[in-house]
């Protein structure tokens, strides 16, 4: 049996031309394809099946109007053969425009004219087979954008051009499926057709927790790592630029959606929220700026617009349906990133983890290959899956492999209810990495490949040992990624075909793991190609003393569920544009990293590597770092986290806590397996300073000191035209309180410090509306700043909150005044007034008790119609404050009152019943002769009289016991 070789290596590639740039940035890929390796029997059968599927056996001659042919050969192809799309090993769609070439080649290989079905995407091919005739949006892709547009303009009566994407040579059109099938499918200018999928955000955003991914550790231990001067693009609906956490940091955008959506606002807050509203509104890159663009356009945005606005990372927290092919949108992103190698796109993997693929190689395999959207099949992007609050893989998180067996998602991040927020955390981390790199490299933005290498190399392995199709390289570690960048644990270079790059590194004794990751940006493949990779690099590591060679970890790409679930093996990777080698407990000594240009078809390909060694028997607490990590009201159970490296997974430690600076210790958990790196701790209901200790066989380790206490929430006591007051509870360790305001800046500013637990502000001196309070602790530890309040949105007026009423049976009323603060109030008076506020009657006067905020007044006689009330608040200073006026519409002493009366037949007749009468009371209308005209058994506030005659009617109101309650007259005009 002949062994199947799955990739064409340089040993048998003789001639190949790829990637030349035509005018208007049109890119074509030309292959001189070699087919001389014998196929395995199964592959042979598959190739035969594909050939028969797309061969037009009725056409045996050359036709310039139909230049596309399907070929199958194991022999070397001539250089003049232009491959349009590879369908698999040794089988492809080619273009032959010269009859002589056709005649020559058909003598050597198996060739047939191609029918047009090869142009369909997998989903559309299946849809067309059902006889679909509906009008819809379609993506049409060609080899040349101008030629495609010119051809479509000949069909302008039936085809509407909606959008043009020059990068992928695609045009979005609207037409009927029938017209598409009968008139457009056969056009030689079209090589690919797909449906334009409906986009949706990847579900809700809840559970953002800054103790994950080392975000708080990054924020509080690495100064100024905050994304400053970085612009993060957010492609979806428009964010609310008045939101406190992104206020004054959203750039104007001509390509933004017209529709605002909270989803976009929360995504922006996770990426780079200022933390003005509260600490959980503080994003990863809290100093970045935002640029919005609409996801109504699923292709890559106009790069000129992105570059003009200095966008270097763009977040995509949306998807369509699982799609298993390399579509026009994927090509668009790969073209853009190949031409702009510092731009990095981050996609949510999707929330279809329980779905089964309905197309492609992995069809009918449950819970795999369900990444949402063909744009996520691009090679130069990062896809992100979700873990829940316990650190487990969320079942709904979409899984790989991608359509050709590539690894996806590449990273995992916190997303308890969806992958949207997981992607945002990664985007925020990238913004910080770009800023940290730029600050030490003359503001140059790092290559996207460098950041991918660092992110993948510092990710923490979960789920199964090594890489896998559920979690990729592992869980994002934002802190470790930034530290690796700062410590310059990376390198790189460029390679042409056949070249080799090497680097020697030294591995010290007592190393737990050596890990090295290679990443590069690749040029775009042809749309719907069977394999996305074009330029293939390879990495290996050699231990120089022993000569042992280590290959990268590779997963099985076989289309069987057992194969997809297998652990990775070390061998050459021929699919992915990132490769990782890890060596557990490596021998100390010198190692050589070698990167080879195995199949490089561009003049040169730039690559980056990241490398790291972890030391055995080390331990560091990573959370809690700050009082914000221990908020018992928000999280009664806090997860204590640490980082350690031990050779024995059975190694244990004793976890303890001290509430008196280490004088006494309380055991939280004995014999805790420390390799788990976390412990769920029910937080004690206390206000105290605390410190943690882990006792291990290789030493005792302490956490930073942190505060356990309730978070202060300021109260708005009164808001008057000239002044307002804030107050708050006393903090047990505080000797002062900082007051912050949102002024003319994007961030809350410290405006003053007070020692009392309240402050009266003159509005002329403090015109801001948003304020927060932070205790200043006598032990110099950082405390939690309060939630930020808009003083005019707290339901508080000038010394009162509300004036309301309860309407009682018989139209008696109980007036209710709620004061916001009693300290300054002497007495209150309820008043009956006109609509304009003219005093009609005063109802007594009540002295205010400082312990009471609610006061009432009973009024037992209301006039028919609308009565107006207010309350006069007399302050201890002698000043008087009036509440707003409330109006009460009643029937007075009457059982029912109609208005207006006389009434117009053109409008419903309104009425009000006396309080206490039920809606089941019966209303009867009689004419002047006593004839019953209409009877109503359910009274809802109005009756329709358009069908009644003009003139006078007699009404009779009857109880459910048939007792006449009231009679009267209605005039209808």
Question: In this structure, are 331 and 476 located in the same domain?
Answer: yes
| Assigned domain for 940 exists | yes
Q: What are phi and psi of 479, to 5 degrees?
A: -65, -50
**Integer-rounded Cα radius of gyration of the chain:** 36
Question: In this structure, are 650 and 772 located in the same domain?
Answer: no
Length of the chain: 973
| The pairing of beta strand 20-21 with beta strand 289-293 | unpaired
Return the DSSP state at 374. Answer: G
Mean pLDDT, to the nearest integer, of 344-357?
96
The two three-digit tokens of residue 829, written as one number: 């008076």
pLDDT range class, residue 127, cuts 50, 70, 90: confident
235-272 pLDDT per residue, tens: 999 999 999 999 999 999 999 999 999 999 999 999 99
Exposed / middle / buried, residue 135 (Cβ in 10 Å: 0-12, 13-18, 19+):
middle
Question: In this structure, are 519 and 380 located in the same domain?
Answer: yes
Question: In this structure, are 31 and 160 located in the same domain?
Answer: no
| Assigned domain for 304 exists | yes
**Beta carbons within 8 Å of 487's beta carbon, 6+ residues apart:** none
Helix (H) or strand (E) holding 147: helix 145-153
CATH number of the domain encompassing residue 542: 3.40.50.200
CATH number of the domain encompassing residue 130: 3.30.70.250
Instruction: Provide the pLDDT for residue 24.
Output: 35
**Beta carbons within 8 Å of 133's beta carbon, 6+ residues apart:** 176, 177, 178
CA distance linking residue 714 with residue 498, whole number of Å: 67
Question: In this structure, are 662 and 541 located in the same domain?
Answer: no
170-203 pLDDT per residue, tens: 999 999 999 999 999 999 999 999 998 888 876 5
pLDDT at 60 over 80: no
Question: In this structure, are 419 and 558 located in the same domain?
Answer: yes
Mean pLDDT, to the nearest integer, of 121-140?
87
Instruction: Provide the pLDDT for residue 508.
Output: 97
**Beta carbons within 8 Å of 591's beta carbon, 6+ residues apart:** 504, 505, 506, 507, 514, 541, 542, 543, 544
Report whether 958 contacts 921 (CB < 8 A): yes
CA distance linking residue 360 with residue 403, whole number of Å: 7
Question: In this structure, are 67 and 157 located in the same domain?
Answer: no
**Beta carbons within 8 Å of 533's beta carbon, 6+ residues apart:** 379, 404, 406, 522, 525, 574, 575, 576, 577
Q: What percent of the chain has pLDDT over 70?
A: 94
Exposed / middle / buried, residue 153 (Cβ in 10 Å: 0-12, 13-18, 19+):
exposed
Instruction: Provide the pLDDT for residue 401.
Output: 98
pLDDT range class, residue 606, cuts 50, 70, 90: very high
More confident position, 30 or 729: 729
910-921 pLDDT per residue, tens: 999 999 998 889
Domain boundary among 95, 118, 141: 118
Q: What are phi and psi of 315, to 5 degrees?
A: -95, 140
Mean pLDDT, to the nearest integer, of 514-519?
99
Instruction: Provide the pLDDT for residue 96.
Output: 86
| Angle in degrees, 0-180, between the axes of helices 478-486 and 448-458, rounded to the nearest 10 | 120
CA distance linking residue 75 with residue 35, whole number of Å: 4
pLDDT at 15 over 90: no
Exposed / middle / buried, residue 212 (Cβ in 10 Å: 0-12, 13-18, 19+):
buried
Distance of CA 695 to the CA centre of its chain: 40
DSSP string over 889-902: EE-TTSSEEEESSS
**Beta carbons within 8 Å of 156's beta carbon, 6+ residues apart:** none
Mean pLDDT, to the nearest integer, of 332-348?
98
Angle at 94 between CA 90 and CA 100, to 5 degrees: 115
67-102 pLDDT per residue, tens: 898 988 776 677 778 889 888 888 999 988 887 778
Placement of tokens 């708080």 in the chain? 216
Q: What are phi and psi of 428, to 5 degrees?
A: -65, -40
Mean pLDDT, to the nearest integer, of 766-793?
93
CA distance linking residue 593 with residue 550, whole number of Å: 10
| Assigned domain for 15 exists | no
Q: What is the pTM of this model?
A: 0.87
CA distance linking residue 145 with residue 143, whole number of Å: 7
Q: Half-sphere exposure (CA, 13 Å, Cβ side) for 227? A: 35
Instruction: Provide the pLDDT for residue 97.
Output: 82
The two three-digit tokens of residue 561, written as one number: 């569920």
| Assigned domain for 10 exists | no
Helix (H) or strand (E) holding 600: none
The two three-digit tokens of residue 639, written as one number: 């997860």
Instruction: Provide the pLDDT for residue 200.
Output: 80
Placement of tokens 């035509």 in the chain? 22
Please give the residue range of the domain that contains residue 945. Answer: 896-972
pLDDT range class, residue 417, cuts 50, 70, 90: confident
Residues pairing with 345 in the sheet: 314
Instruction: Provide the pLDDT for residue 33.
Output: 34
pLDDT at 207 over 80: no
| Assigned domain for 8 exists | no
465-501 pLDDT per residue, tens: 999 999 999 999 999 999 999 999 999 999 999 999 9
878-897 pLDDT per residue, tens: 999 999 999 999 999 999 99
* Listed residue (625, 627, 623) closest to 708, CA to CA: 627
pLDDT at 18 over 50: no
More confident position, 416 or 596: 596
User: Rounded mean pLDDT of the chain?
Assistant: 91
CA distance linking residue 524 with residue 533, whole number of Å: 8
Instruction: Provide the pLDDT for residue 780.
Output: 84
**Beta carbons within 8 Å of 966's beta carbon, 6+ residues apart:** 894, 895, 896, 956, 957
Mean pLDDT, to the nearest integer, of 300-327?
96
Question: In this structure, are 74 and 62 located in the same domain?
Answer: yes
Instruction: Provide the pLDDT for residue 285.
Output: 97
Report whether 451 contacts 344 (CB < 8 A): yes
Instruction: Provide the pLDDT for residue 37.
Output: 40
Instruction: Provide the pLDDT for residue 36.
Output: 35
Exposed / middle / buried, residue 636 (Cβ in 10 Å: 0-12, 13-18, 19+):
exposed
Instruction: Provide the pLDDT for residue 43.
Output: 59
| The pairing of beta strand 758-762 with beta strand 200-201 | unpaired
The two three-digit tokens of residue 473, written as one number: 């390289």
Domain boundary among 846, 871, 890: 890
Exposed / middle / buried, residue 913 (Cβ in 10 Å: 0-12, 13-18, 19+):
buried
| Angle in degrees, 0-180, between the axes of helices 420-439 and 478-486, rounded to the nearest 10 | 20
Instruction: Provide the pLDDT for residue 42.
Output: 57
Question: In this structure, are 113 and 127 located in the same domain?
Answer: no
CA distance linking residue 284 with residue 214, whole number of Å: 10
Question: In this structure, are 348 and 329 located in the same domain?
Answer: yes
For the chain, counts of helices (H) and of strands (E): 13, 58
* Listed residue (6, 1, 2) closest to 531, CA to CA: 6
Question: In this structure, are 626 and 688 located in the same domain?
Answer: yes
CATH number of the domain encompassing residue 929: 2.60.40.3580
CA distance linking residue 891 with residue 955, whole number of Å: 15
**Beta carbons within 8 Å of 762's beta carbon, 6+ residues apart:** 722, 723
Instruction: Provide the pLDDT for residue 25.
Output: 35
Whole-angstrom CA distances from 435 to 214, 227, 411, 862 are: 18, 5, 21, 69
Question: In this structure, are 519 and 584 located in the same domain?
Answer: yes
357-413 pLDDT per residue, tens: 999 999 999 999 999 999 999 999 999 999 998 899 999 999 999 999 999 999 999
Q: What percent of the chain has pLDDT over 90?
A: 77
CA distance linking residue 540 with residue 115, whole number of Å: 44
* Listed residue (911, 908, 909) closest to 896, CA to CA: 911
CATH number of the domain encompassing residue 779: 2.60.40.10
The two three-digit tokens of residue 728, written as one number: 């708050």
pLDDT at 31 over 60: no
pLDDT at 436 over 60: yes
pLDDT at 3 over 50: no
| Angle in degrees, 0-180, between the axes of helices 448-458 and 420-439, rounded to the nearest 10 | 120
| Strand ranges in 388-535 using DSSP code E only, listed in sequence order | 411-414, 490-495, 500-507, 511-520
Q: What are phi and psi of 91, to 5 degrees?
A: -135, 135
Mean pLDDT, to the nearest integer, of 519-539?
96
Domain boundary among 581, 614, 647: 614
Instruction: Provide the pLDDT for residue 919.
Output: 80
| Assigned domain for 310 exists | yes
* Listed residue (461, 460, 437, 466) closest to 450, CA to CA: 437
Whole-angstrom CA distances from 915 to 289, 803, 806 are: 57, 20, 10
Total domains, the chain: 7
Report whether 388 contacts 206 (CB < 8 A): no
3-class secondary-structure state, position 627 = helix
The two three-digit tokens of residue 840, written as one number: 């009609």
Instruction: Provide the pLDDT for residue 123.
Output: 85
Instruction: Provide the pLDDT for residue 633.
Output: 81
């Amino acid at each position: 049996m002949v062994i199947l070789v799955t990739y064409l290596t340089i040993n048998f590639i003789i001639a190949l031309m790829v990637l030349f740039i035509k005018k208007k940035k049109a890119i074509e890929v030309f292959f001189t394809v070699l087919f001389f390796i014998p196929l395995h029997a199964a592959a042979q059968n598959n190739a035969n099946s594909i050939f028969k599927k797309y061969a037009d056996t009725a056409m045996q001659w050359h036709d310039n109007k139909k230049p596309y042919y399907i070929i199958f050969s194991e022999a070397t192809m001539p250089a003049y053969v232009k491959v349009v799309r590879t369908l698999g090993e040794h089988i492809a769609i080619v273009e032959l425009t010269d009859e002589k070439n056709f005649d020559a080649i058909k003598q050597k290989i198996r060739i047939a004219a191609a029918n047009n079905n090869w142009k369909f995407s997998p989903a559309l091919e299946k849809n067309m087979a059902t006889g679909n005739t509906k009008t819809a949006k379609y993506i049409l892709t060609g080899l040349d954008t101008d030629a495609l547009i010119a051809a479509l303009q000949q069909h302008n009566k039936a085809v509407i051009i909606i959008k043009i994407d020059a990068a992928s040579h695609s045009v979005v059109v609207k037409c009927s499926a029938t017209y598409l099938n009968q008139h457009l499918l056969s056009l030689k200018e079209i090589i690919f057709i797909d449906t334009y999928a409906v986009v949706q955000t990847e579900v809700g955003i809840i559970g953002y927790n800054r103790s994950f991914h080392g975000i708080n550790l990054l924020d509080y231990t690495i100064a100024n790592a905050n994304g400053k001067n970085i612009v993060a693009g957010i492609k979806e609906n428009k964010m609310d630029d008045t939101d406190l956490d992104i206020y004054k940091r959203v750039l104007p955008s001509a390509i933004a959606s017209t529709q605002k959506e909270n989803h976009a606002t929360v995504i922006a807050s996770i990426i780079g929220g200022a933390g003005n509203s509260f600490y959980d509104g503080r994003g990863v890159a809290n100093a970045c700026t935002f640029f919005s663009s609409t996801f109504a356009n699923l292709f890559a945005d106009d790069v000129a617009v992105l570059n003009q606005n200095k966008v270097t990372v763009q977040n995509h927290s949306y998807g369509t349906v699982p799609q298993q092919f390399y579509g026009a949108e994927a090509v668009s992103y790969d073209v853009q990133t190949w031409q702009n190698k510092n731009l990095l796109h981050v996609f949510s993997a999707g929330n279809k983890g329980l779905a089964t693929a309905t197309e492609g190689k992995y069809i009918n395999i449950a819970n795999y290959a369900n990444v949402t959207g063909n744009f996520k099949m691009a090679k130069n992007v990062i896809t992100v899956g979700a873990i829940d609050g316990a650190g487990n893989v969320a079942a709904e998180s979409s899984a790989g492999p991608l359509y050709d067996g590539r690894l996806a998602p590449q990273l995992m991040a916190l997303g308890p209810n969806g992958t949207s927020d997981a992607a945002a955390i990664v985007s925020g981390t990238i913004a910080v990495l770009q800023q940290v790199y730029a600050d030490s490299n003359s503001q140059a933005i790092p290559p996207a490949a460098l950041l991918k290498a660092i992110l993948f190399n510092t990710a923490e392995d979960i789920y199964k040992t090594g890489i896998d199709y559920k979690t990729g390289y592992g869980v994002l570690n934002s802190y470790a990624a930034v530290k690796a960048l700062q410590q310059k644990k990376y390198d790189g270079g460029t390679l042409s075909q056949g070249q080799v790059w090497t680097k020697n590194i030294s591995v010290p004794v007592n190393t737990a793991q050596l890990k090295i990751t290679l990443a590069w940006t690749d040029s775009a493949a042809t749309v719907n190609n069977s394999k996305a990779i074009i330029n293939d690099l390879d990495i290996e590591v050699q231990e120089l003393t022993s000569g042992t060679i280590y290959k990268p970890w590779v997963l099985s790409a076989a289309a069987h569920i057992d194969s997809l679930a297998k652990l990775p093996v070390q061998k050459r990777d021929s699919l992915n544009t990132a490769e990782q080698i890890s060596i557990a407990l490596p021998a100390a000594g010198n190692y050589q990293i070698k990167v080879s240009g195995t199949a490089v078809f561009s003049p040169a390909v730039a690559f980056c590597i990241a490398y790291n060694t972890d030391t055995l028997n080390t331990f560091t607490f990573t959370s809690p770092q700050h009082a914000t990590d221990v908020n018992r009201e928000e999280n009664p159970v806090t997860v204590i986290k640490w980082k350690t490296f031990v050779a024995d997974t059975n190694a244990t430690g004793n976890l303890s806590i001290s509430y008196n600076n280490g004088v006494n210790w309380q055991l939280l958990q004995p014999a805790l397996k420390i390799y788990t790196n976390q412990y769920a701790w029910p937080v004690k209901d206390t206000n105290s300073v605390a410190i943690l200790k882990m006792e291990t066989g290789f030493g005792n380790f302490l956490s930073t000191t942190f505060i356990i206490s309730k978070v202060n929430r300021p109260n708005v006591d009164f808001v008057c035209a000239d002044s307002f007051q804030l107050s708050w509870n006393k903090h047990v360790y505080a000797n002062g309180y900082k007051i912050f305001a949102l002024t003319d800046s994007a961030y809350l500013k410290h405006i003053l410090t007070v020692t009392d637990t309240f402050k009266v502000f003159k509005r002329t001196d403090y015109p801001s509306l948003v304020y927060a309070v932070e205790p200043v602790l006598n032990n110099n530890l950082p405390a939690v700043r309060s939630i930020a309040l808009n003083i005019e949105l707290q339901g508080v007026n000038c010394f009162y909150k509300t004036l309301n009423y309860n309407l009682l049976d018989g139209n008696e009323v109980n007036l209710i005044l709620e004061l916001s603060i009693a300290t300054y109030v002497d007495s209150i008076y309820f008043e009956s007034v006109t609509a304009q506020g003219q005093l009609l009657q005063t109802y007594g006067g009540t002295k205010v008790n400082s312990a009471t905020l609610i006061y009432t007044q009973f009024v037992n006689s209301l006039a028919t119609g609308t009565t107006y009330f207010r309350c006069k608040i007399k302050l201890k200073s002698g000043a008087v404050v009036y509440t707003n006026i409330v109006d009460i519409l009643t029937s007075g002493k009457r059982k029912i009152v109609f208005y207006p009366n006389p009434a117009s037949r053109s409008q419903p007749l309104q009425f009000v019943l006396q309080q206490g009468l039920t809606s089941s009371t019966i209303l009867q209308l009689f004419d002047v002769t006593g004839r019953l005209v209409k009877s109503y058994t359910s009274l809802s506030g109005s009756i329709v009289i358009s069908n009644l005659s003009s003139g006078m009617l007699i009404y009779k109101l009857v109880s459910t016991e048939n007792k006449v309650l009231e009679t009267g007259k209605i005039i209808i005009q």
